[in-house]
Amino acid sequence: MAFGGAIVATLAVLALAGMGRRISTVKLVLAGAVVSALCTALSNFIIYMAGDAEGMQSAAFWTMGSLADAKWSMLGWPALVVGCMTVYFLSQVRALDALLLGEEMAVTLGINATRKRYIYMACMALLTGVLVSQCGIIGFVGLVIPHMSRAFVGVGHKRLLPVVVLGGAIFLVLADLLSRVLLPAGDLPIGILTALMGAPLFMKLLFGSSRNFGG
């Protein structure tokens, strides 16, 4: 069900970003923000209309993201999907590098940019659905870490992808550690902490050097 919801959201983002002219990175980001706001409003409405007070509190805590309930027995599916996606995208470095040059340049290099984009988005929907179903919504990791990594290793995906995978894992572990020690009374939802750390970093990247975005 998480994968199905992620696919619907992904198709909505692609439909919005493709309206009028060709899809661009900026349009994808803006369309994603719009769809995210709509999905958040819908999920909050469902939680608000629920009759179970304990269930409402549990669902609200889940929407903020947390690793507090993580168990070794739950790592099977996430580890499998993350491992497969890492191997797959490492095999796609040539196509990913070509897409950075623009759709027309990618076509001249023999790459079907539209087809590749849909395949990659479907893979990301599967990855997101599996991870969110396990630990809730933890935002800004996928926005901030790739762009920060570009500032250190460049835009070539052969070096960028391993750094992003490792950097994202380290960032999330540190955020989880902070969420457990900041409040003496209990754990702080990790999604709140990543948003507080990620939003300023993303703004700096957004208004800083264009090299962080592959410009």
pLDDT of residue 141: 87
CA 201, distance to chain mean position in Å, is: 15
pLDDT tens-digit series, residues 86-118: 999 999 999 999 988 877 888 888 888 888 988
**CA angle in degrees (0–180, nearest 5) for 73-75-80:** 130
Distance CA 56, CA 75 (A): 26
pLDDT tens-digit series, residues 122-157: 899 899 889 888 888 888 888 888 888 988 898 899
pLDDT of residue 64: 81
* Span 64-80, average pLDDT: 85
The pTM of this model reads: 0.76
Taking each helix axis from N to C end, the angle separating 76-90 and 93-100, rounded to the nearest 10 degrees, works out to: 70
* Span 20-33, average pLDDT: 76
User: Which residues have a Cβ under 8 Å from the Cβ of 199 and sit 6 or more positions away?
Assistant: 140
Q: What percent of the chain has pLDDT over 70?
A: 93
Based on C-alpha coordinates, what's the Rg of the chain? 18
Q: What percent of the chain has pLDDT over 90?
A: 20
Mean pLDDT taken over the chain? 84
